[in-house]
Structure 1
Amino acid sequence: MNRTGQTPRIRYDEGCLAAHALNVVGDRWALLVVRELMLAPKRFQAIRHGLPGVTAAVLTQRLAQLIDAGVVTHDGGLYGLTDSGRGLMPVLQAMCRWAALHPGHDPRRFISPAALVISMTAMMLPNDAQATAGMEMGHEAFTLCLANGVLHPQAGAGASDFTLSGNGNSLARAVYGPVPLARLAQDGVIGLAGDAQAAQDFVDLFRLR
């Protein structure tokens, strides 16, 4: 422990760029904090809600470190990402694709809304479809615009072809699972409003493997 009672950070004493990146965002929870802020700025408690295993003290420390590193901003009670922080989106997407190749993933564990949406940008099959999907997950809503084979998520509700509602886990089941949306909606697992066939065609574009 140091004089402030905090465990000193371990830094890699190397000239390797990967080691330098880990010195900036490699501490536990750091990249997951970035994940929670990737789609929209949030207040402290909203960030913590998306990271149920983190303590307030650790989250405070990580946010301070990320602000000092120029990855996170803090203005008027809201935490957001700098251009540098937003530049980590491809890193998160690559980690999703890499993790899907390794056994042991348990989708029954907590999945935050941001985690689900970011995974969808990474795990979409090649396609030429066009669609606008709405997703409502408690206090968070997203509009996902699919065009030219790229999924563009935006925070907030907007005009959409259909809307899926639930929590991160139930909608992950809808997006990646084998059960048709109509059955999940009938069983009360998710909510489905709008064009049901367009919604089914949309979720059929995503695979975990």
Structure 2
Amino acid sequence: MKLENITEGRNKPKRWYDDACGTALALEFVGERWALLIVRELLLGPRRFGEIRAGLPGISANVLTQRLAGLEADGIVVREKLAPPANVQVYALTAWGREAEPVVMALGQWALRSPRHDPSLPFSRVSLLLALRMMLLPERAAGWAGRIGFRLGEETYAVAVENGALDIARGSLSGVEAVFIGEPNDFLPVLFGPMPLAMALAEGRFAVEGDVARAAAFAGLFLLPPKVVG
């Protein structure tokens, strides 16, 4: 049997590219506007429709519905219903969909080196947590261990750093040493820039509960990558 006949007769979707490369096929899945960012918003766990839309302020409800339907049809996203008492519908990545995380992270790290990166633009809550993974400096994190919380509106996350690795869990803040309280863009000058934590707190950019010294040490584990030249 010839290779080109394997899928003969099947109801195949319309293709954007006449290209057998896996990269071209990946763009078929997540190349439409917003699709990859929807995947990004689901990397830390299931989210309701409204939560996804809140993380992508430029998307319309209609477009979000279309993109979720397409991602579901391609086996990347699945609809689930949370158990009582929540009893609401959420969207989650399938096991195969979660395998896209290294791609999303690598693409983000690559693009952050561009001089066109503008940190003043809206920054979603999920983006902030994923950026911690992107910009963790291994040489600084190697000798540091701790557990720090983030309260972003009604959402809470616990971030654990140990042995140079960073783990993120949504939900309980039990056992954290300090909690950053605010919204994502508030933290950027401290977490990824040169502003000392004490200065940010004095200016009222955000609040910290708990051990401020440990929060400052945590903030020192991250840095934006250098921009490309030329």
Question: Which of the five TM-score ranges fits, normalised by the shorter chain?
Answer: over 0.9
Cα distance in 2, alignment partners of residues 60 and 154 from structure 1: 27
Mapped pair 1:72 → 2:77: yes
Equivalent residue for 1:124, pick from 136, 156, 166: 136
Counterpart mapping for 1:23-62 below 5 A = 23-62=28-67
Mapped pair 1:146 → 2:158: no
Which residue of structure 2 aligns with residue 86 of structure 1? 98
* Counterpart residue type for residue 40 of structure 1: G
- Cα deviation for residue 10 of structure 1 reads 5.9
Contact 1:165-1:171 at 8 Å conserved across structures: no
1:168–1:9 Cα change, 3 Å: farther
Cα distance in 1, alignment partners of residues 202 and 157 from structure 2: 23
* Counterpart residue type for residue 223 of structure 2: R
1:17–1:173 Cα change, 3 Å: same
Contact 1:133-1:163 at 8 Å conserved across structures: yes
Give the 3-state SS of the residue equivalent to 1:116 in structure 2.
helix
What TM-score do you get using the length of structure 2 for normalisation? 0.84
- Cα deviation for residue 41 of structure 1 reads 1.0
Which residue of structure 2 aligns with residue 15 of structure 1? 20
What TM-score do you get using the length of structure 1 for normalisation? 0.92
% identical equivalent positions = 40
Counterpart mapping for 1:95-110 below 5 A = 95-110=107-122
Which residue of structure 1 aligns with residue 9 of structure 2? none
RMSD: 1.4
Q: Deviations over 1:20-78 (max 9, x none)?
A: 11111111101100111111211111110000000111100000001111111112211
- Cα deviation for residue 173 of structure 1 reads 2.6
Give the 3-state SS of the residue equivalent to 2:18 in structure 1.
coil
Give the 3-state SS of the residue equivalent to 2:156 in structure 1.
strand
Contact 2:135-2:192 at 8 Å conserved across structures: no
Between the two proteins, the alignment pairs up a number of residues equal to: 202
Cα distance in 2, alignment partners of residues 9 and 46 from structure 1: 31
Which residue of structure 2 aligns with residue 165 of structure 1? 181
- Cα deviation for residue 165 of structure 1 reads 1.0
Which residue of structure 1 aligns with residue 123 of structure 2? 111
Counterpart mapping for 1:176-187 below 5 A = 176-187=192-203
1:197–1:9 Cα change, 3 Å: farther
Mapped pair 1:205 → 2:230: no
Cα distance in 1, alignment partners of residues 17 and 151 from structure 2: 41
Give the 3-state SS of the residue equivalent to 1:134 in structure 2.
strand
- Cα deviation for residue 15 of structure 1 reads 0.5
* Counterpart residue type for residue 91 of structure 2: Y
Cα distance in 2, alignment partners of residues 9 and 38 from structure 1: 28
**Bigger CA radius of gyration:** 2
- Cα deviation for residue 122 of structure 1 reads 1.2
Mapped pair 1:63 → 2:68: yes
- Cα deviation for residue 169 of structure 1 reads 0.4
After TM superposition, what 4+ stretches of structure 1 lie above 3 angstroms from structure 2? none
* Counterpart residue type for residue 176 of structure 1: F
- Cα deviation for residue 188 of structure 1 reads 1.3
* Counterpart residue type for residue 101 of structure 1: R
